[in-house]
Chains A and B, each alone.
Chain A
Amino acid sequence: MTTLTPVLSATWDVKDSWTLSTYTKHGGYRGLKKALKKQPGELVQAIKDSGLRGRGGAGFPTGMKWGFLPPDDGKPRYLVINADESEPGTCKDIPTMLSAPHTLIEGVIITSYAIGCNHAFIYLRGEVVHVYRRLINAVREAYEAGHLGKNIHGSGFDLDVTIHSGAGAYICGEETALLDSLEGRRGQPRLKPPFPAVAGLYARPTVVNNVESIASVPAIIDRGVAWFTGMGTERSRGMGFFSLSGHVERPGQYEAPLGITLRELLEFAGGMRGGRPLKFWTPGGSSTPIFTDAHLDTPLDYESVGAAGSMLGTRALQIFDDTTCVVRAVMRWTEFYKHESCGKCTPCREGTFWLTQVLKRIEKGHGTPADIQQLLDTCDSIAGRSFCALGDGATSSVISSVKLFRDEFEQHVSTGECPFDHAASALFTYSDSLEGAHA
């Protein structure tokens, strides 16, 4: 039985966990002190050795990303933290920044030192004003304590941190759209190459990392590479957040070694809501193909989830029991993608628009048998054809749900109605008047 390994979340339940004093009392900024005594190259190597992989969804090795930066030419290079957490189901970075913002700040300082950056940016999702305040406060505290500013702790290293609040667009989680938005432009993905490592923010070499990835850095430096590699699986090292939501008794963030299974996680979370059977779930957020109870024992690491036909993504486990209409759930997700498509490329812009209309019809019982094939055909015209990965993500739930629950789609068509009681699946008092609220 895997045990939980609270590292980033270790102090979340402590009084005033977000303050510098609490953070320091619990060992905060020890990693920074150690890091400043090392050469930047040693730090990059340590992160490479730790096997830390990007926690923002793609799982790209963090140390390798840092290594892509061209040699220092004396001009600016930037670290940008992607804190635009907006994926349905994903809720790990925002709680981290809310409860322990200094884990991120400390990670930012160490990483900046390692890559030779003197100005780091945190691009925060615009809707979370309370987190914005916590971050601003944490940065202020860090300046006052000498962790930020000129000649940090006598090391000769200077660093400024800017917190930037986005304007509420999911696409700005795509790193190049984020960079455009940060520069004050319209947030739409850029043409690559050049990649951010070569020409990112203000056309300078830039590392863009997820909050959780960078927040993991201080612990790795403080406790050592061996401690980190002692957790997780062969190729998916360390711990990470598993965010359980939906039809579980105790939803929340469970910090555990990679490779834990949903069955284990459900035990920590008190099981399914009311002990009802599990119907389907997302392993990594709404952009990842859905799983069913057949995958309860799939180790939640990058390789195993990939082999089972989905993606570990951001480890956002949205859990649905047998009261849930899969057509309805997929329709809701697709509405999200339609709403968030930036509009730049045809497949995503038009495809999500079309998918939404077809799914709505099927869900209402107005679909035709041809509609189910149309869904797959439209997905085929989006996936792999769009400018960025948003389009691919939009099709995952549609394709996987038709594959796993085709009979349920067909039932909607043949009976001309949705066979589910919508109120039964709701986690709140449901009323039909809510229909269309997000259309």
Chain B
Amino acid sequence: MTATADKAAAVDTVTLTIDGTEVTVPKGTLIIRAAEQAGIEIPRFCDHPALKPAGACRQCLVDVASPGPDGNLRAFPKPQASCTMTVTQGMVVNTQDTSPEADRAQKGVLELLLINHPLDCPVCDKGGECPLQNQAMSHGRSESRFVDVKRVFEKPLPLSSEILLDRERCILCQRCTRFSKEIAGDAFIDLQNRGAMQQIGTFSEDVLGFEGYGPVGVAAEDEAGAAFSSYYSGNTVQICPVGALTSASYRFRSRPFDLVSSPGISEHDSSGSAIRTDHRRGAILRRLADYDPVVNEDWITDKDRFAFAWQNLDDRVTRPLVRIEGELVETSWPQALAAAAEGLRTAMELKRKKGIAVLPGGRVTLEDAYAYGKFARAVLGTNDVDARTRIASDEEQAFLGATVAGTGLGVTFGDLEKAPAVLFVAFEPEDEGGVVFLRLKKSEGRQRVATVAPWLSRGNEKLGATLVPAVPGTEGAVLKKLPADVEKSLSQPGAVIVVGERAAGAAGALSQALALSKRTGARIAWIPRRAGERGALEAGALPGLLPGGRDAASAKARSEIAGAWGVPGLPLAPGRASAEIISSAAARGLDALVIGGVTVSDLTGDVVKALKKTGFVVSLEVRRSEVTDYADVVLPVAPPSEKSGTFVNWEGRLRSFATAIHTDALSDHRVLDALARELGFALGTATVAAVNAEIAGLAAVASSDRPAAPKVSPPAKPAGPIVLSSWHQLVDESALQDGEPYLAGTGRVAVVRMSAATAKKVGVESGSISLSGATRASVDLPVVVTDMVDGVVWAPAKSPGSWVARDLGVEPGDPISVKGGFA
């Protein structure tokens, strides 16, 4: 432990006395934090360790004396706010526990805080977990002396469709406004008016006029974009020390003391944010951020927090379904497993093979993905397994196998925060990164951020990023010749290149990212969107990759894995990627398909046709979907809250979670184990522990067993005169946000963006335009002329009115045609 001791000695410390206890803390520590370390709790409201000090509520007043220049202790004449004052050597602090003056000051402040606060605790959402209620009980007077008229407001004021404000409960601690400015960079709410009429508000005319104080409208009809438009707004509800901020989805639904809280990991993105699921009688009431200092710190995205209803909608599949005479009929598990096994066995025994494939989807756990991969290769004897139901490429697979899979913890959140320079390639920190954005926002001004993108999104703007303009598809060529200052910034120690999953859509981009990394020494972080992507990669649920990044083409790797699995050998034929599987199925059909959580509308390929043409479809699903509509057997699987497992986040960190709500729903890995058993094969994936033990038993991967790093030359020119740029906005119409209208209302309005020159070229400079691609459908949206690269049209991937994959059938970088003339 020498290293730790040395490290501690390197920090300047200060020793002081708090309530008679000597405390040694780093220089610059606030009194209130130093007291916490000594186990002394000073009541507070405005103070929050992640926010800058405000000194607004004055609840934390303590008596302070500090040595003067002569060394004699000199007491401050007035009590001091312990949340704003830093400690000094030899300081003597007396809190409410030892100083009658501090106690009197705190009681006085608490009494004042309560004079205008309604006594509606019995109906308030915060009642039972309310810092004001708690501290009023522990530090306040038992009876109010206030007999006059309280301040009242109309309630609630919808700051957005999701966030509601009851101003009469607000104690104006400014945690929410400080969070919005300092942490999220979305200063859509601020203090308004003054004195006793000071209040939090949006920039609504009704409030700024100071006349009516009326709500701007019922929450559900609130215009997103004009209101509190932030992907992180739910955090304000969690840090509100009173019941002033509530969420529309939880308001009046429950009492905190009726809830059971279970820790978990969010299923919504690849960050693996720690969450707390609060449930009652088996139903999820709300989700909160859990504090995890190395990953999400205090915060989660609104999607992490509010999007959980999808798990328990009416279309939830609770019992196995088997298609009998064209209709899906509920059956018992043994019947369904027998039917599924029968169908698969028949397909495996067919002479003229069209093939069997497995599509696990990108949202399952490491254990599930491992089971899918093993099931495909060991049971079905195919390498046609791909968890990447998104834009993907062989170059990407080689990149992932060579540099990402099996490399353990790589670039971390902390590394991103400390990086002197960060370059994004086909990655949007806010829309596709969630809390990644918040980490980077912390370093705003201390970090050089640049992004290879067609335009500077709001998230990038908030980070002060420099735009390195790139037409989608040509990112590789751009990386080859980066502006000199950007490239130079990346040669600083600690610099990071972040590549998003969309980089797979630009030939040569990942090869060039590797070359750039080699040139500059900057490390590479691959940040995909879905929670299961990295786990699927580690588990070998990609066609060319076995567990740990082993190359499926390597005989040594195959025999190693076959040995571990107790099978004579692994299939030899090269596996096909999901897009290829779907397109060939749509053309010629498959013998059988085992498909997990795949959303048809997220794919450009004609999945429905592929399903129709496939001989036998086994679907493992939580809900009825377009896939189950065409499945022969539907095996219900557990949503994240009803299972345990591990998400591997983009850092490569294992994010294990236990079951929050115990039901009889089974995880994918367990269902696959049972199905394999029915086929006469012991898959060994019945429990999380068994899968983990098996993965742990695999040896380290030799670099010779990995695929070679890709060396693909990028095209110099875009694929057409006008190409598509598109990505998923964080809050949109993706399947995991179903059933949550209040969250949906906070999403951004869908628009099409293009440069002035492009708009001129296509003859549409205002109004709406119509985009069309490979399908007969179109996307018709209002156009916003944006400062961006020419020859590109941007549309959100799955926002209201803009389901790009389904309606256009093209991917970013593909040519697209544009028609104007819509009013």
Chain A positions within 8 Å of B53 at CB level: 191
Contact of B113 among A188, A340, A350, A357 (CB under 8 A): A350
**Interface residues as binary, A318-354 with B (CB distance below 8 Å gives 1, 0 otherwise):** 0000000000000000000011111111110111111
Chain A positions within 8 Å of B54 at CB level: 191
Query: Is B194 engaged at the interface, CB distance under 8 Å to the other chain?
Result: yes
Chain B positions within 8 Å of A343 at CB level: 172, 191, 193-198
Query: Is B534 engaged at the interface, CB distance under 8 Å to the other chain?
Result: no
Cross-chain pair count, CB within 8 angstroms: 101
**Cβ-closest chain B residue relative to A185:** B190
Let me know if A349 and B172 touch, CB within 8 A: yes
Let me know if A357 and B108 touch, CB within 8 A: no
Query: Is A186 engaged at the interface, CB distance under 8 Å to the other chain?
Result: yes
Give chain B interface residues in 177-200, CB to chain A under 8 Å: 190-191, 193-198
Query: Is A400 engaged at the interface, CB distance under 8 Å to the other chain?
Result: no
- Minimum C-beta distance from A177 to chain B (A): 11
**Stretch in A8-16, A220-228, A379-387 with 4+ CB within 8 Å of B:** A379-387
Query: Is A374 engaged at the interface, CB distance under 8 Å to the other chain?
Result: yes
Chain A positions within 8 Å of B198 at CB level: 342-344, 349
Let me know if A386 and B58 touch, CB within 8 A: yes
| Most A CB within 10 A of own CB, among B104, B113, B171, B195 | B195
Let me know if A385 and B194 touch, CB within 8 A: no
Kindly state the separation between the CA atoms of A168 and B219 in the bound complex, as whole angstroms.
34
Chain B positions within 8 Å of A346 at CB level: 56-59, 109, 112-113, 171-172
Kindly state the separation between the CA atoms of A23 and B375 in the bound complex, as whole angstroms.
97
Chain A positions within 8 Å of B61 at CB level: 385
Known interface pairs A354-B112, A357-B148, A384-B79. Does A345 touch B195 (Cβ–Cβ under 8 Å)?
A: no
Let me know if A338 and B58 touch, CB within 8 A: no
- Minimum C-beta distance from B177 to chain A (A): 10
**Interface residues as binary, B106-132 with A (CB distance below 8 Å gives 1, 0 otherwise):** 001101110110000000000000000
Let me know if B56 and A387 touch, CB within 8 A: yes
- Minimum C-beta distance from A379 to chain B (A): 10
Chain B positions within 8 Å of A361 at CB level: 148
**Cβ-closest chain A residue relative to B109:** A346
Let me know if B112 and A351 touch, CB within 8 A: yes
Kindly state the separation between the CA atoms of A382 and B78 in the bound complex, as whole angstroms.
11
Chain A positions within 8 Å of B193 at CB level: 343
- Minimum C-beta distance from B560 to chain A (A): 61
Known interface pairs A191-B53, A191-B84, A354-B148. Does A169 touch B112 (Cβ–Cβ under 8 Å)?
A: no
**Interface residues as binary, B145-163 with A (CB distance below 8 Å gives 1, 0 otherwise):** 1101101000000000000
Query: Is A358 engaged at the interface, CB distance under 8 Å to the other chain?
Result: yes
Let me know if B148 and A186 touch, CB within 8 A: no
Let me know if B58 and A387 touch, CB within 8 A: yes
Let me know if B79 and A385 touch, CB within 8 A: yes
- Minimum C-beta distance from B435 to chain A (A): 28
Known interface pairs A191-B84, A343-B172, A344-B56. Does A385 touch B191 (Cβ–Cβ under 8 Å)?
A: no
Contact of A353 among B79, B104, B171, B195 (CB under 8 A): B195
Kindly state the separation between the CA atoms of A346 and B77 in the bound complex, as whole angstroms.
20
Chain B positions within 8 Å of A341 at CB level: 194-196
Known interface pairs A347-B112, A384-B77. Does A339 touch B59 (Cβ–Cβ under 8 Å)?
A: no
- Minimum C-beta distance from B152 to chain A (A): 13
**Cβ-closest chain B residue relative to A339:** B195
**Interface residues as binary, A352-392 with B (CB distance below 8 Å gives 1, 0 otherwise):** 11100110010000000010001001101110111100000
Kindly state the separation between the CA atoms of A382 and B195 in the bound complex, as whole angstroms.
14
Chain A positions within 8 Å of B145 at CB level: 370, 374, 377
Chain B positions within 8 Å of A339 at CB level: 195
- Minimum C-beta distance from B111 to chain A (A): 7
**Cβ-closest chain A residue relative to B111:** A381
Kindly state the separation between the CA atoms of A385 and B103 in the bound complex, as whole angstroms.
12
Kindly state the separation between the CA atoms of A384 and B63 in the bound complex, as whole angstroms.
12
**Cβ-closest chain A residue relative to B61:** A385
Chain A positions within 8 Å of B115 at CB level: 350, 353-354
How big is the B interface, by class? 35 or more
Secondary structure dominating the interface of B: loop
Kindly state the separation between the CA atoms of A374 and B194 in the bound complex, as whole angstroms.
24
| Most B CB within 10 A of own CB, among A188, A191, A346, A387 | A346
Chain A positions within 8 Å of B816 at CB level: none
Let me know if A186 and B149 touch, CB within 8 A: no
Contact of B146 among A191, A354, A387 (CB under 8 A): A354
Query: Is B454 engaged at the interface, CB distance under 8 Å to the other chain?
Result: no
Kindly state the separation between the CA atoms of A250 and B404 in the bound complex, as whole angstroms.
87
Kindly state the separation between the CA atoms of A66 and B79 in the bound complex, as whole angstroms.
29
Let me know if B56 and A353 touch, CB within 8 A: no
Chain B positions within 8 Å of A377 at CB level: 108, 145
Chain A positions within 8 Å of B77 at CB level: 384
- Minimum C-beta distance from A245 to chain B (A): 25
**Cβ-closest chain B residue relative to A354:** B115
Contact of A358 among B109, B112, B148 (CB under 8 A): B148
Let me know if B194 and A381 touch, CB within 8 A: no
Let me know if A338 and B108 touch, CB within 8 A: no
Query: Is B55 engaged at the interface, CB distance under 8 Å to the other chain?
Result: yes
- Minimum C-beta distance from B66 to chain A (A): 14
Let me know if A353 and B109 touch, CB within 8 A: no
Chain B positions within 8 Å of A191 at CB level: 53-55, 84
**Interface residues as binary, B36-60 with A (CB distance below 8 Å gives 1, 0 otherwise):** 0000000000000000011111110
Chain A positions within 8 Å of B57 at CB level: 345-346
Let me know if A385 and B195 touch, CB within 8 A: no
Kindly state the separation between the CA atoms of A140 and B261 in the bound complex, as whole angstroms.
69
Kindly state the separation between the CA atoms of A353 and B148 in the bound complex, as whole angstroms.
10
Contact of B108 among A342, A349, A374, A385 (CB under 8 A): A385
Let me know if B195 and A338 touch, CB within 8 A: yes
Give chain A interface residues in 79-118, CB to chain B under 8 Å: none
- Minimum C-beta distance from B112 to chain A (A): 4
Let me know if A381 and B191 touch, CB within 8 A: no
Give chain B interface residues in 86-118, CB to chain A under 8 Å: 104-105, 108-109, 111-113, 115-116
Chain B positions within 8 Å of A378 at CB level: 112
Chain B positions within 8 Å of A385 at CB level: 58, 61, 78-79, 105, 108-109
Let me know if A345 and B146 touch, CB within 8 A: no
Known interface pairs A340-B195, A352-B196, A385-B79. Does A345 touch B108 (Cβ–Cβ under 8 Å)?
A: no
Chain B positions within 8 Å of A351 at CB level: 112
Chain B positions within 8 Å of A387 at CB level: 55-56, 58
**Interface residues as binary, B240-272 with A (CB distance below 8 Å gives 1, 0 otherwise):** 000000000000000000000000000000000
Let me know if B149 and A350 touch, CB within 8 A: no
| Most B CB within 10 A of own CB, among A171, A345, A378 | A345
**Cβ-closest chain B residue relative to A348:** B195
Known interface pairs A381-B108, A381-B112. Does A353 touch B58 (Cβ–Cβ under 8 Å)?
A: no
**Cβ-closest chain A residue relative to B81:** A387
- Minimum C-beta distance from B2 to chain A (A): 38
Let me know if A350 and B116 touch, CB within 8 A: yes
Kindly state the separation between the CA atoms of A342 and B171 in the bound complex, as whole angstroms.
14
Let me know if A353 and B194 touch, CB within 8 A: no
Kindly state the separation between the CA atoms of A381 and B171 in the bound complex, as whole angstroms.
16
Kindly state the separation between the CA atoms of A166 and B325 in the bound complex, as whole angstroms.
80
- Minimum C-beta distance from B656 to chain A (A): 42
Kindly state the separation between the CA atoms of A385 and B193 in the bound complex, as whole angstroms.
22
- Minimum C-beta distance from A268 to chain B (A): 37
- Minimum C-beta distance from B154 to chain A (A): 19
Since A344-B198, A346-B113, A381-B111 are in contact, a sample of 7 more A-B pairs with Cβ atoms closer than 8 Å, ordered by chain A residue number, is A339-B195, A340-B194, A341-B194, A347-B58, A347-B109, A353-B151, A381-B105
Which 3 residue pairs spanning A and B have beta carbons closest together?
A343-B198, A381-B108, A357-B148
Residues of A participating in the B interface, judged by any CB pair closer than 8 Å: 169, 171, 186, 188, 191, 338-347, 349-354, 357-358, 361, 370, 374, 377-378, 380-382, 384-387
Instruction: List 25 A-B pairs, Cβ < 8 Å.
Output: A186-B191, A191-B54, A191-B84, A338-B195, A339-B195, A340-B195, A342-B194, A343-B191, A343-B193, A343-B194, A344-B172, A345-B55, A347-B108, A350-B196, A352-B195, A353-B115, A353-B195, A354-B112, A357-B148, A358-B148, A384-B77, A384-B105, A385-B61, A385-B78, A385-B109
